[in-house]
Structure 1
């Protein structure tokens, strides 16, 4: 007899008027850093801001390469820098903002598959989810409580 495995995933939608101070700071920092992204091939600018457990915030943006698509996403750039320099500090929240070059309005963005798996790696390492904040074009935050909401059947452990 076949069985079915079902998982429920959900995102919380937070109106701008209801953003916490922390959410506002992270989204603002991610919005500012995306303007400095190196995206001459796709024209898609992405900024990310990462909050660590000690309150420090790191930012990064996407960096493309002429050998497209051999670039580095903003999410992986900020996680790599923060975890490379502060490997014992748990990542708490990751804000992601994007827009197309030349446009004023933001674009909806969620982490790509490689970034989702990278986020998962740090959730596994620290045994705790990383809250994801993704700005949409309407100025709302799409909030995921952890990467399981975007990657429900994730690859977690080679030994399991």
Structure 2
């Protein structure tokens, strides 16, 4: 038996002032999208903003439902809308802002597993990396140069 070692590199921005201007604007749009979240059950609101290669920006927020599995995360709300409205555009960057509605969330919150899988589908299909920036409601912002850093052993159409 051999060991398989998987390493990843993420970049840490200590505050929004360190971000490139376009990413700072994307984070601001994700914050605004978060304000539109419908999260009466979890009290955990998430906003996402996606920059496409046609310079369009698509946003989304999490939308819960009393039947929990029927809700949808902010990232998937935005990415599926981008795919439906701009099917030929590539996703360049995603900014995610997430946290509790009851207290400050200073820890960066990455996409959940289902969202990682959805982002992987787009990254694989477009054959270019998607930069992912994520944060809590305050504090550090983390950057991944590719979804593969967050989900290194992806399941994609090549296994079907």
Deviations 1:31-56 (A, max 9, x none): 11101100010000000000000111
CA contact (8 A) 2:91 2:130 kept: yes
Partner of 1:5: 4
> How do 1:48-59 residues align onto structure 2 when only pairs under 5 Å count?
48-59=48-59
- Distance in 1 between residues matched to 2:32 and 2:119, nearest whole Å: 22
User: 1:81 corresponds to which residue?
Assistant: 81
Q: State the match for 1:66 in structure 2.
A: 66
Match of residue 116 from structure 2: 116
Contact 1:50–1:78 under 8 Å retained in 2: yes
TM-score (norm 2): 0.92
1:26 pairs with 2:31: no
Extract unaligned runs of 5+ from structure 2: none
CA deviation vs aligned residue, 1:46-102 (integer Å, no higher than 9, x gap): 000000001111111000011013210000000000111111100000000012114
Distance 1:14 1:102 in 2: 25
Q: Distance in 1 between matches of 2:81 and 2:18?
A: 30
Aligned to 2:157: 157
In structure 2, what is the equivalent of residue 101 of structure 1?
A: 101
Mapped partners of 2:154, 2:5: distance in 1: 14
Residues in 1 aligned to 2:154 and 2:143: alpha-carbon distance in whole angstroms: 19
Residue 134 of structure 1 aligns to a residue whose secondary structure is: strand
C-alpha distance 64-107 of structure 1, shift in aligned 2 (>3 A)? farther
Residue number in structure 2 paired with 1:15: 14
Could you tell me how far 1:157 is from its partner in structure 2? 2.4
Structure 1: stretches of 5+ with no match in the other structure: none
Give the aligned CA root-mean-square deviation in angstroms: 1.6
Give the whole-Å Cα distance in 2 for the aligned partners of 1:47 and 1:35.
7
Equivalent-residue separation in structure 1 for 2:98 and 2:127 (angstroms): 28
Q: Which moved more, 1:35-44 or 1:135-144?
A: 135-144
Instruction: Decide whether the 8 Å contact of 2:97 with 2:137 is kept in 1.
Output: no
